[in-house]
Homo-oligomer: A and B are copies of this chain.
Amino acid sequence: MTDRRAQIGLVGRQVSRRSMLAGAAVSVVAPAAATTLGAAPVAAAQGNGQGNPNDGETRRITMYAEVLPSGLVGYGLAPGKATVPGPILEIWEGDTLEIELVNNTDKRLSIHPHGVDYSVDSDGSPLNASFNEPGETRTYVWRTRAPVKAKGNIWIPGSAGYWHYHDHAMGGSHGTEGLRKGLYGALIVRRKGDILPDRQFTVVFNDMTINNKVAPDVPMLDCRLGERVEFVAIGHGNTFHTFHLHAHRWANNRTGMLEGPNDPSQVVDNRDLNPGDSFGFQVIAGEGVGPGVWMYHCHVQFHSDGGMAGIFLVRNEDGSLPDGAQAALDRYHQHDGGHPNGG
């Protein structure tokens, strides 16, 4: 497994909570373990349903922005471990996250979050002189809070959501160069009681790429039948997209699930994914449809034809490939079935 994943560029892109809990394959998923900040989410994942036992903790991490051998630029949780996208950062609503950002590049850059609270000095924008000069280390502080009751029956929204973070300073005042080169990642703020997934994937539609790759090099999302898989989808760049996942659907709301049988949320399997936007959802892999090689792709025709298409591989429960899967994977890698010249 390890070799195969490495070959298709998965290292650092896939988080296996199961593996982590079981203590297996840690070398493969090292970034994942590091991105689960503190024990709380894991505890909730174990199903006690009691929410965050560490209410309002302050968590501290160091991130490193570095140039990758490919020329891309990524964030990582240890020197030499930068990836595109960066690690999934995950906290509880109520927590504070302090990020010491080390700029190991020769250009100014920053880290700017969506959805959370920050003062102007953590804005990450040149407008507020909030960035790292080349070689500089700087701390950014992100705070979160639960919903609060306002007047009448109205509540002010909390911080929980599938958010993201990105550079806001390289190559201009809006981080256009940093974004183009890969300085982005997922940020999840969970609410007490939220169900935790078994696996997580970050999918970024960045101009005409997925995670700065095109088919057949787009990350394969690899899981097993019945696992609870969480997607965080993020849009960046200059072009507009629609994210489509085959054979799985979700509610177009905060969690992707419903609050009850009368929840009015629209259920979708295709959603706009435009610059600066993000959403997330969980599916039970293969539920009602079985294992298989399922496509996820931009539904704009010339985008998918141009390579904005990847594979959501749902293996059998024992990890083996289902019937026909290898042939489908071969088609994808041979540009036959996943590309305009295919088939």
Contact at B276–A324, with CB atoms within 8 Å?
Answer: no
Q: Are the CB atoms of B108 and A343 closer together than 8 Å?
A: yes
Contacts of A193 in B (CB 8 A): 152
Q: Which segment, of A4-12, A25-33, A167-175, faces chain B? A: A167-175
**In the complex, A106 has a CB within 8 A of chain B:** no
Chain B residues near A341 (CB-CB < 8 A): 172
User: Is the CB of A284 closer than 8 A to any CB of chain B?
Assistant: yes
Stretch from A54-62, A69-77, A302-310 forming part of the interface with B: A302-310
Taking a contact as CB atoms under 8 Å apart, the answer to whether B292 and A242 are in contact is: no
Chain A contact surface mostly: loop
Chain B nearest CB, measured from A271 CB (Å): 7
- With A156-B284, A252-B266, A267-B115 known to touch, is A338 a contact of B173 (CB < 8 Å)? yes
CB-defined contacts of A3 to chain B, threshold 8 Å: none
- Size of A's binding interface in residues, CB under 8 A: 113
A208 CB → nearest B CB, Å = 12
Partner of A155, one of B125, B259, B304: B259
User: Once the chains are docked, how many angstroms separate the CA of A117 from the CA of B309?
Assistant: 20
Q: Does B267 lie within 8 Å of A173, measured CB to CB? A: no
Asked whether A127 is an interface residue with its Cβ less than 8 Å from the other chain, the reply is yes
Any B CB within 8 A of the CB of A249: yes
Residue contact B300 to A275, C-beta cutoff 8 Å: yes
Complexed CA–CA distance, A270 and B163 (Å): 10
Binds B, one of A82-90, A197-205, A326-334: A326-334
CB distance from A247 to the nearest CB of B (A): 6
* A327 touches which of B129, B263, B279 (Cβ 8 Å): B129
Residues of A within 8 A of B (CB): 47, 49, 108, 114-115, 117-121, 123, 125-129, 131, 143, 145, 147, 150-161, 169, 171-174, 176, 179-180, 193, 195, 235-238, 240, 242, 244, 246-247, 249-272, 274-279, 284, 287-290, 292-295, 297, 299-305, 309, 322, 324, 327-328, 331-332, 336-343
A-B contact sample (5 more), CB < 8 A, given A129-B337, A171-B340:
A159-B249, A169-B343, A179-B301, A274-B300, A276-B299
